Structure 1
């Protein structure tokens, strides 16, 4: 009685097996045909083809290595700068030391220092993935961002860069000018222009057609600009305006930026519930993580640069709590990013979790802003 059922399932499994066989045969047929053609050629033809294949293997090996190895990744790297030990806000003249014979010295900016360090981490300590040739070519014509692999580091780097970009704008428009009316510092202006450069440019492009200066070169120039500004500031040759309304404005911009990212995460979480099979969930997650990584370091430096305002307004406890919220979010580092349903029990929803932590950190920033606005 069970024989017809068994026969049915055998036929179904056989058909599936034959289908898989046809698919694999179709995939490997071009390689088999190329191998047969290659064997019949002379070494005059074989040699260059072999060199090209070796070069491709080497390029892809380097590309895979760079996308998988995150050199000097450390969410708490900012602790090395010991900002808590500083006792003067940025731009203020430092007390003269005994026997000092040189010109006056001023406190450098932690914000500018961290902006340079984050960019150095992106393009010098690691390769900038988004403008690499193989990243631009994609996976058989598919953008890497639309695949589930080899794109997490690129998304993370773009998130870090977003935090630096936002900071560079504030440095030019408010922080690096006296009451926003003095002349713009040229080093900060150059840093803003360089860090805003397109994230995907390689050595050659089609729009416009011709050779180009790649993205990392512009970002390396921005590093030099940030550090040149700090050199000016440390010799009292530049301005850093540590007024309460400047801190308020800066925190407001960061809160708005994080709010936009939380909205992107919510949209993806609500409208796409493919779990582990959502190929864009990892991009959204790691961009948000990179943004938090950058802003956590920048806000830590901000606490040192604006310590006069923080102490005068008695917001040190809430500011410290804000940084702890960022630290909590940065502890979320799953191996595989899943975008499942919020009430699902098999596939978790990492996007909703990250969105929750971002909104919690943003809520603290809004509270700091409201205190400064009183």
Structure 2
């Protein structure tokens, strides 16, 4: 009685098997044909081609290893800083009080914000390979941008998100935090750091526009790290200042809220107009960029609580500040293996992108509330 049913399913699976076999044969045919052509050549041709293939395989191995190995990635990294420790070198921390409400101009100590920002650059380009400027990342998958594929691009987006937080912070350090008043002289170390970190994210050792050898992106970012650490060393030696006034903190928080708000808009656009579930190959880019941005700001805002401790205490901002850090920490706990951009009312595919957007908006709303309290 069941023989016709068994026979039907047997034919179906046989057809599927033949289809998969034909697909595999179509994919491997160019490689088989190339290997047969290579086997018929002499060693004068085989040698250079063989060496080239070995180098290409080695490059791909190095590239894949760097994209999959996230060295020293730690969602609780900000909690491990001891900002209350005495500064290195035995200098006595001092402050020059300007106003008990507005805050203080600090010197003869180190800025926690500057230290964390420099550490984030070190994490991006020294502890890990900078993916966006690697030659195989630039070449893509058979000419297709890796960001348009579901593979090997998550770490690059994550690093670019951290870099966005670093860039925003470097601008504020130059414009307000690293000098006493807007009319005072700009610190050269901070200016150098801002210029280096603003360099594009994709430059390799050689380029076509303009044609010729170039200094790669990671070298510029390492230069920014050195400039930031030089500023903190000079500050520790009482040569420069950090302006921890309330109006500077208000502007810093406002700029961060605006930066995060821009990312929220990108997530909303992707979530509403391209909700293809697991088949949306750009959803992971948006997700990991936002994740990296929150990862960077989590450490920077934790450091800001130390640098602006007097302002936060006098304005009774402790609970609000703690809420921002907790929201960021909660967002960093979301680490799905595959990012899905499903419909919000869907029941099969999850909505990881919408979930991340929710946390981004929560963080932004808390920052806006902080800014309003500072503005009173």
Using the size of structure 1 for normalisation, the TM-score is 0.91
Aligned partner of 2:236 among 219, 234, 237: 234
Whether 1:332 and 2:310 are equivalent positions in the alignment is: no
Stretches of structure 1 that go unaligned for 5 or more consecutive residues are 96-103
On the 8 A contact 1:129/1:153 being kept in 2, the answer is yes
On the 8 A contact 1:83/1:300 being kept in 2, the answer is no
Measured after TM superposition, the shift of residue 49 of structure 1 is 1.6
On the 8 A contact 1:313/1:372 being kept in 2, the answer is yes
Q: Does the residue aligned with 2:207 lie in a helix, a strand or coil?
A: strand
Measured after TM superposition, the shift of residue 239 of structure 1 is 1.9
Deviations 1:351-371 (A, max 9, x none): 110111111111111111101
Cα 1:169/1:92, change in 2 over 3 Å: farther
On the 8 A contact 1:86/1:304 being kept in 2, the answer is no
Aligned to 1:45: 45
Paired residues, number: 363
Task: Write the distance in 2 (CA, Å) between the matches of 1:116 and 1:209.
Answer: 32
Aligned partner of 1:176 among 154, 174, 178: 178
Stretches of structure 2 that go unaligned for 5 or more consecutive residues are 97-105
Aligned partner of 2:282 among 280, 283, 292: 280
On the 8 A contact 1:243/1:309 being kept in 2, the answer is yes
Aligned to 2:188: 186
Task: Write the distance in 1 (CA, Å) between the matches of 2:27 and 2:330.
Answer: 46
Task: Write the distance in 2 (CA, Å) between the matches of 1:124 and 1:147.
Answer: 26
Measured after TM superposition, the shift of residue 26 of structure 1 is 2.9
Aligned to 1:198: 200
Aligned to 1:57: 57
Measured after TM superposition, the shift of residue 27 of structure 1 is 2.3
Task: Write the distance in 1 (CA, Å) between the matches of 2:44 and 2:212.
Answer: 32
Bigger mean CA deviation after superposition, 290-299 or 320-329 = 320-329
Whether 1:165 and 2:167 are equivalent positions in the alignment is: yes
Task: Write the distance in 2 (CA, Å) between the matches of 1:21 and 1:77.
Answer: 48
Aligned to 1:100: none
Alignment of 1:260-271 (within 5 A): 260-271=262-273
On the 8 A contact 2:107/2:240 being kept in 1, the answer is no
On the 8 A contact 2:107/2:241 being kept in 1, the answer is no
Bigger mean CA deviation after superposition, 128-137 or 8-17 = 8-17
Whether 1:298 and 2:300 are equivalent positions in the alignment is: yes
Aligned to 2:101: none
Using the size of structure 2 for normalisation, the TM-score is 0.91
Alignment of 1:29-44 (within 5 A): 29-44=29-44
Cα 1:14/1:76, change in 2 over 3 Å: closer
